[in-house]
């Protein structure tokens, strides 16, 4: 069942069972990301993250664009002091980093600049065949400044990241799949269903286990191997304090489906 919970100009939100869906909604600007949209997106992400009835979050755009980047029309007249003192990017683009539940991006069409960086900040990217990924900021004499120069090399390696950042190369969905930027590619007509099915599957698992896995995988990018392994081991030990983990193992042994309480 679909429940519509919030609508404003720049995003639409719905819940589908335990999945919170956020749709970027500036069609006339190909979902270019302005402050109003990023404020609304951040608020919606935090609201779903704090909602005990939501286990996973899906972020998507339109058939034509996930998001065509930061809003160039808005940025064109900004000065250094505007962005420095206003905390551009830091102030409202990084809210997604606070989200502890799994976030899935469903991308069709353009994921350019900040749109590509937003997808990179999600945990899983499901791409439609029409998806196009690029960091074309160099064409504006800018640089990818919402994590692009850091998350892209971690996702695809230095060679591909340098190529994309320095030449503005556009990756097709198939290339993005091959290089490890996305986790699966599906026909456009199947994108929403596939992503929702995936989010529903994930949201059906034990929430604290999902949160522990997300935190642990993210640690792989933030620490040395031995520190990461130690973190993972502690997370594993902590699973034994979870009633869901005991339920999961008992259900397996009893040859029945587990009933998780998200505890």
Our CB check for ligand DAK shows the closer of 70 and 125 to be 70
The minimum distance between CB 102 and ligand DAK, in angstroms, equals 25
Our CB check for ligand DAK shows the closer of 20 and 136 to be 136
Tell me which H or E stretch contains 118: helix 114-121
Our CB check for ligand DAK shows the closer of 54 and 131 to be 131
Instruction: Confirm whether 70 is a catalytic residue.
Output: yes
Residue 66 interacts with ligand DAK (CB under 6 A): yes or no: no
- Sign of dihedral through CA atoms 163, 167, 173, 175? negative
For residues 217 and 220, give the distance between their C-alpha atoms in angstroms, rounded to a whole number.
5
The minimum distance between CB 114 and ligand DAK, in angstroms, equals 4
Our CB check for ligand DAK shows the closer of 41 and 70 to be 70
163-189 as b/e, with b when 16 or more CB fall inside 10 Å?
A: ebbeebebbebebbbebebbeebbeee
Catalytic residue among 117, 121, 147, 148: 117
Residue 120 interacts with ligand DAK (CB under 6 A): yes or no: no
Residue 68 interacts with ligand DAK (CB under 6 A): yes or no: yes
Among 6, 46, 47, 89, binds ligand DAK (CB under 6 A): 89
Residue 72 interacts with ligand DAK (CB under 6 A): yes or no: yes
Given strand 103-107, what is the order of strands in its sheet? Answer: 2-7, 11-16, 19-24, 56-60, 103-107, 124-128, 184-186
Largest CA distance in the chain: 65
Instruction: Confirm whether 68 is a catalytic residue.
Output: no
CA-wise closest residue to 44 among 81, 73, 15: 15
- Torsion of the alpha carbons at 205, 209, 212 and 213, rounded to the nearest 10: -50
Among 17, 46, 51, 88, binds ligand DAK (CB under 6 A): 88
Catalytic residue among 32, 40, 44, 70: 70
Instruction: Confirm whether 55 is a catalytic residue.
Output: no
Our CB check for ligand DAK shows the closer of 39 and 247 to be 39
Given strand 110-112, what is the order of strands in its sheet? Answer: 65-67, 110-112, 132-134, 171-172
Stretch that binds ligand DAK, among 44-52, 62-70, 225-233, 239-247 (CB under 6 A): 62-70
Catalytic residue among 68, 127, 128, 137: 137
Residue 258 interacts with ligand DAK (CB under 6 A): yes or no: no
CA 244 to chain centre: 26
For residues 105 and 122, give the distance between their C-alpha atoms in angstroms, rounded to a whole number.
6
Our CB check for ligand DAK shows the closer of 47 and 75 to be 75
Residue 238 interacts with ligand DAK (CB under 6 A): yes or no: no
Instruction: Confirm whether 114 is a catalytic residue.
Output: yes
**DSSP 8-state assignment for residue 96:** G
Contact 21, 15 (CB under 8 A): yes
Residues with a catalytic annotation lie at 70, 114, 117, 137
- Judged by the rule CB under 6 A, the positions of this chain that interact with ligand DAK are 29-30, 32, 68-73, 83, 88-89, 110, 112-114, 136-137, 140, 142, 145-146
């Amino acid at each position: 069942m679909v429940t519509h919970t919030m609508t404003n100009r720049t995003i639409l939100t719905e819940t589908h069972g335990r999945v919170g869906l956020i749709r970027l909604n500036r069609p006339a600007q190909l979902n270019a990301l302005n402050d109003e949209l990023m404020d609304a997106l951040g608020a919606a992400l935090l609201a779903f993250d704090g909602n005990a009835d939501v286990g996973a979050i899906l972020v998507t755009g339109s058939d034509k664009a996930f998001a065509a980047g930061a809003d160039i029309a808005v940025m064109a007249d900004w000065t250094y002091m505007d962005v420095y003192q206003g905390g551009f990017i830091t102030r409202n683009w990084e809210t997604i980093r606070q989200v502890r539940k799994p976030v899935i991006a469903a991308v069709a069409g353009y994921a350019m600049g900040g749109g590509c960086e937003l997808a990179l900040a999600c945990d899983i990217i499901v791409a439609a065949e029409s998806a196009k990924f690029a960091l074309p900021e160099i064409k504006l004499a800018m640089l990818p400044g919402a994590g692009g120069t850091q998350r892209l090399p971690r996702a695809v390696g230095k060679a591909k990241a340098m190529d994309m950042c320095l030449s503005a190369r556009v990756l097709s969905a198939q290339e993005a799949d091959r290089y490890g930027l996305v986790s699966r590619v599906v026909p456009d007509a199947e994108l929403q269903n596939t992503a929702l099915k995936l989010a529903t599957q994930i949201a059906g698992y034990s929430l604290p286990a999902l949160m522990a896995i997300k935190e642990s995988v993210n640690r792989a990018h933030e620490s040395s191997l031995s520190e990461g392994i130690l973190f993972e081991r502690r997370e594993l030990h902590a699973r034994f304090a979870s009633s869901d983990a005991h339920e999961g193992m008992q259900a397996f042994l009893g040859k029945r489906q587990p009933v998780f309480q998200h505890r």
